[in-house]
Structure 1
Amino acid sequence: MAIKHLRTAFASQYQPGQPARLVAGEAMQEPGGDYEALHKQMKRLFNSKPGKKYGRFSEDLGECPFSAWLKDYLEDKQSFSALTDRLFGQWQELLNACQEEFDGHLMLVHEALADSEVAYLLVLETDSAMRFDGSERLDATDIISLSRLNLAVRIELDDWLGENGSDNYLTLVHGRGTGEPGDLFIRLAGFTNNVDVEKETLTFLDAVEAFAKNSEPEKAGEVRAKAYEFCKDQHALGEPVEIEALSGYLDENQPERFKEFASQNAELPESGVLHPDHRKVKKLVRIAGSGGGMSVSFSSDLVNQAVYYDRDNDALTITRLPKALREQLQRYLETREE
């Protein structure tokens, strides 16, 4: 990982209806050191965030000019400093009309990876901390939060501008509770949602389930487990699921088998890429439910082995109880008997 360019600006809007305040730092080239460490942590938070959205830049350049400015910078028609001057200026204008209080550091990073280039636009939040000053008096200060990231967008530059570009080169983190500033950030980034994650999750689950049922009975559980493992690993990397890569992972001896099966039995996108929600994909390997004061969760492999469901009586029988659960039940019953 190597940061080519980075710049930050602190923006605040404490009195809605009044001009927002913005203080920009200098544009830095290959800052290294602590900046690399900070960006690495922000990437970890970005990749781990559930519920990300996928899309592309809005075609309304009058309303969302960031993509045009970014393209000019990448084509050496303007400097990174000029690009960020424009970007920060628009952010301040958007916050001028914001009716909610806001403060945060806007950071734009252009990063070169081993085989591609990406850009990140993030809002860094702050946490309060206490310290002793030089006179040993307690003082409150603000520090960058290394555990929260609620507004960010990643731009896959090669997928956007390359000859074989993807239709979904933007990945958005839009946390709950960000309110109007969150909506303004989406407008600043020019993000347009182009992927129905819920639909693609169902497509993924249906394709894997059908393939598992079509496999040898003793290998069905292995298929589900490997599909979930692959999806989880992709989520950790912040990457979608490529059907061709998944197919090879599920069966190294016949790497095309799942791909061919899925193309015939599921409505796959032309790109051959899905963006399933890894939380819902967990249904492949776990059965869970709660309600009426009860919460039950167990591996799907235990059905008809240690967990038995009686459909006629709507009853669940569990054998081989976990040791901790057995001990809790025994203590509870002993207390009731006393």
Structure 2
Amino acid sequence: MAIKHLRTLFASQLQPGQPAQVRPGEALSEPGGDYEGLHKQMKRLFNSKPGKKYGRFSEDVGESPFSAWLKDYLEDRQSFVSLTDRIFGQWQELLNGSQEEHQGHLMLVHEALADGEVMYLLVIESDSALRFDGQQSLDTTDVLSLSRLNLAVRIELEDWQNDNPGENYLTLVHARGSGEPGELFIRLCGFTNQVDVEKETLTFMDAVEAFARSSEPEEAGKIRARAYEFSRDQHALGEPVAIEALSGYLDEDQPQRFKEFASETAELPESGVLHPDHRKVKKLVRIAGSGGGMSVSFSSDLVNQAVYYDRDNDALTITKLPKALREQLQRYLESRDD
């Protein structure tokens, strides 16, 4: 990882109706050291964040000029300082009209990777912490939150600059509860949602399940497990699922088998890439449910082996109980007998 340029802005809007207070930092080139460490942690939070959205820049440049400014910077028509001055200025204008309080650091990072360049725009929040001052009296101070990331966007620069850019070169983190500042952040980066994650999750799961059922019974469980593993690993990397890569992962001897099967049985996007929600994909390997004072979860491989479902009587029979569960049941029954 190598940061080419980085700049931060502290913005505070604690009195709605009044101008937001801002303090821009210096533009840094190849800052290294602690900045690399901070950005690495923010990326880790970004990649692990569930419920990310995928899309592209809005075509309404008048409403959201971020993409136009970014293009000028990448084509050397303005400096990184000029780019950030404009972005920071618009962020202040947006916060001026906010009716909700906001405080945080806006950080823009231009990063060069082995496989391309990306741009991150993140809102870094703060936590309160206690410390002893010079007179050994307790005092409160603000420190950067290294465990929370609620607003951020990543731009795949090369995907965006292609002659025929795809529909999902933007990845957005927009956490619930971010309120009006969250909506203002979306306006700032000009994000337009183009990917239906719920639909693509169903497409992914239906294709894998159909492929598993078409395979030999002893292979079906392995296929589901490997599909979930691949989806989980891609999520950890912050990357979508490429059908061709998944196909090779599911069957190394016949790497095109799943791809050909899915092409015939599912409506795959032209890009050959899906963005499944890894939390829901877990249903491929685990069956779970709760309600009425009961919570049950088990591996799907145990169906008709250690777990039997009677549809007619709506009854579940579990054999080969886990040792800890069996011991708890025995102690409970003994205590009742006493």
State the TM-score, normalized to the length of structure 1: 0.99
Determine the C-alpha separation between the residues in 2 that align with 1:167 and 1:312. 47
Counterpart of 1:89 in structure 2 is 89
* Secondary structure, aligned partner of 1:226: helix
- Which structure 2 residues correspond to residues 34-53 of structure 1 after superposition, within 5 A? 34-53=34-53
TM-superposed deviation, 1:163: 3.9
Q: Distance in 1 between matches of 2:172 and 2:92?
A: 21
Q: Which amino acid aligns with 1:38?
A: L
Match in the other structure for 1:257: 257
Q: C-alpha distance in 2, partners of 1:102/1:164?
A: 38
Determine if the alignment matches structure 1 residue 5 to structure 2 residue 5.
yes
Aligned to 1:208: 208
Matched, 1:113 2:125: no
SS at match of 1:118: strand
**Match of 1:110, SS?**
strand
The amino acid that maps onto 1:317 is: T
Quote the residue 1:61 is aligned against. 61
Q: Which residue of 2 aligns with 1:103?
A: 103
Match in the other structure for 1:305:
305
CA distance in 2, matches of 1:108, 1:329: 56
SS at the partner of 1:177? coil
> CA-to-partner distance for each residue in 1:230-284, whole Å, 9 max, x for gaps?
0000000000000010011111111111111101100000000000000000010
Q: Which runs of 5+ in 1 are unaligned?
A: none
**One-letter amino acid of the structure 2 residue matched with residue 197 of structure 1:** V
TM-score using structure 2 length? 0.99
Query: Can you list the C-alpha shifts for 1:191-220, whole angstroms capped at 9, x where unaligned?
Result: 000000000000001100111111111101
Tell me how far apart the structure 2 counterparts of residues 112 and 25 of structure 1 sit (CA, whole Å): 21
The 2-side partners of 1:120 and 1:320 are apart by 50
Deviation at 1:164, TM superposition (A): 5.5
What is the aligned partner in structure 1 of residue 277 from structure 2? 277
DSSP-derived class of the 2:139 partner: strand
Task: For 1:97 and 1:232, locate their aligned partners in 2 and report how far apart those are by CA, in whole Å.
Answer: 40
Corresponding position of 1:231? 231
Query: What's the counterpart of residue 143 of structure 2?
Result: 143
Letter in 2 for 1:96: N
Aligned to 2:337: 337
In structure 2, how many angstroms separate the alpha carbons of the residues matched to 1:123 and 1:62?
A: 23
CA distance in 2, matches of 1:332, 1:23: 62
CA distance in 1, matches of 2:269, 2:104: 38
Q: Offset of 1:328 from its aligned partner?
A: 1.0
Report the CA distance between 1:33 and its aligned residue.
0.1
1:246 aligns with: 246
Q: Secondary structure at the match of 2:290?
A: strand
Superposed CA RMSD in Å reads 0.7
Q: Quick one: which amino acid aligns to residue 109 of structure 2?
A: V
Identity, % of aligned positions = 82
Task: List per-residue Cα deviations over 1:9-33 (Å, max 9, x = no partner).
Answer: 0001011011111100000000000
TM-superposed CA distance for 1:165, in Å, is: 3.3
Aligned to 1:15: 15
In structure 1, the residue corresponding to 2:119 is in which secondary structure? strand
SS at match of 2:143: strand
Mapped to 1, the partners of 2:324 and 2:147 lie a distance apart of 32
Distance of 1:21 and 1:335 partners within structure 2? 64
Corresponding letter in the other structure for 1:209: E
Listed one character per residue, the Cα deviations across residues 66-114 of structure 1 (whole Å, up to 9, x for unaligned) are 0110111111110000000000000000000000011000000000001
Number of residue equivalences = 338
SS in structure 1 opposite 2:89? helix
- Cα separation, 1, equivalents of 2:305 and 2:173: 41
In structure 2, how many angstroms separate the alpha carbons of the residues matched to 1:188 and 1:120? 13
Q: Which amino acid aligns with 1:297?
A: S
For 1:164 and 1:192, locate their aligned partners in 2 and report how far apart those are by CA, in whole Å.
17
Give matches, 1:180-191, under 5 Å. Answer: 180-191=180-191
SS in 2 for 1:22: strand
